Amino acid sequence: MKPNGLAQPVQPAVKIVANKGVLVFDMDGVLVDVTESYRETIRRTVAHFTGKEITRELIQDYKNAGGWNNDWALSRKIILDLGIEVEYQIVVDHFQSIFFGNGSDGMILREKWIANGGLIERLQEQYRLAIFTGRTLAEAEVTLHRFARDLRFDMVVADDPVRPPKPAPDGLLEIARRFPAEPMWYVGDTVDDARSARAAGVSFIGVAHAANPRRDELVALLRAEGAIAVLENVNEVESCL
């Protein structure tokens, strides 16, 4: 990882026709469907250490409570709540072994890109585009390389050991410092995303997918945290800008 978790632009910058501001995307659940990747890896990690099968509703309940943006920490917490104490690093190692597999059978390969063809291209004619994700930079780059090799993001802020994670505002503030005095929006799908935006003074656009196991509750939570809109899908984002 580069110092302070910044990636170089994925592609050389293209000319912005009319700069209306900075549009920042969360990655998981917004640009990328991780139902069968991170969420399933949590389930399998918990099953490995506890012998118990948990539901996706249970995982969403922890996410909706806030503070569980880190899926390694969340896996360990659920295992602990089921009565088993496991060292953090052991949970991380097992989680990663499922997530990446042997390189050809990992859960990461089950991810799907959500943004329809043309969406990012249209947006980048009017906005600077950035990503603020809880992923490590390496995990973000693998997925961007797979699905978005031809798309340009001006800045990718990934998890960094020295920067407080979401719901802290630090990642968004880092993007704001790069583009001072420009209007900014953050598009995210969790309570922690909304709290991060509010603490950074950035407008928040929520995403709650129809397939989310606790969708109605999530919509209400995101609205209560100050979302200017809650979309079913990132492909609707142009309707509220």
Which residue do the tokens 């407008």 mark?
203
Which is nearer to Mg ion, 49 or 186 (by Cβ)? Answer: 186
Interacting residue with Mg ion among 111, 160, 189, 192 (CB under 5 A):
189
Assess contact for 74 and 68: CB atoms under 8 A: yes
Give the nearest distance from C-beta 161 to Mg ion in angstroms. 20
Which is nearer to Mg ion, 26 or 159 (by Cβ)? Answer: 26
Q: How far is CA 171 from CA 9, 18, 114, 208, 212, in A?
A: 16, 25, 23, 22, 26
Size of the site for Mg ion (CB under 5 A): 4
Segment interacting with Mg ion (CB under 5 A) among 12-20, 111-119, 188-196, 226-234: 188-196
Between CA 69 and CA 191 the distance in angstroms is 9
Which is nearer to Mg ion, 37 or 49 (by Cβ)? Answer: 37
- Long-range own/partner contacts, residues 161-164 (CB < 8 A, 24 or more apart): 162/4, 163/4, 163/5
- Does 26 contact Mg ion by CB under 5 A? yes
- Does 174 contact Mg ion by CB under 5 A? no
Residue 124's identity, in one-letter code, is Q
Which is nearer to Mg ion, 49 or 135 (by Cβ)? Answer: 135
Q: Which residue is nearest to Mg ion (CB)?
A: 29
Residue 210's identity, in one-letter code, is A
Query: Longest Cα pair distance anywhere in the chain, in angstroms?
Result: 56
Between CA 137 and CA 142 the distance in angstroms is 9
Segment interacting with Mg ion (CB under 5 A) among 12-20, 60-68, 189-197, 223-231: 189-197
Q: Nearest to residue 39, comparing CAs of 205, 237, 209?
A: 209
- Does 106 contact Mg ion by CB under 5 A? no
Assess contact for 28 and 135: CB atoms under 8 A: yes
Segment interacting with Mg ion (CB under 5 A) among 18-26, 46-54, 79-87, 143-151: 18-26
- Does 29 contact Mg ion by CB under 5 A? yes
- Give the distance, in angstroms, between the CA of residue 158 and the centroid of all CA atoms in the same chain: 9
Give the nearest distance from C-beta 34 to Mg ion in angstroms. 8
- Does 159 contact Mg ion by CB under 5 A? no
Which is nearer to Mg ion, 124 or 196 (by Cβ)? Answer: 196
Residue 107's identity, in one-letter code, is M
Which is nearer to Mg ion, 28 or 111 (by Cβ)? Answer: 28
Structure tokens of 196? 């991060």
Segment interacting with Mg ion (CB under 5 A) among 41-49, 97-105, 158-166, 184-192: 184-192
Give the nearest distance from C-beta 190 to Mg ion in angstroms. 5
Assess contact for 197 and 204: CB atoms under 8 A: yes
Per CB under 5 A, residues contacting Mg ion are 26, 28-29, 189
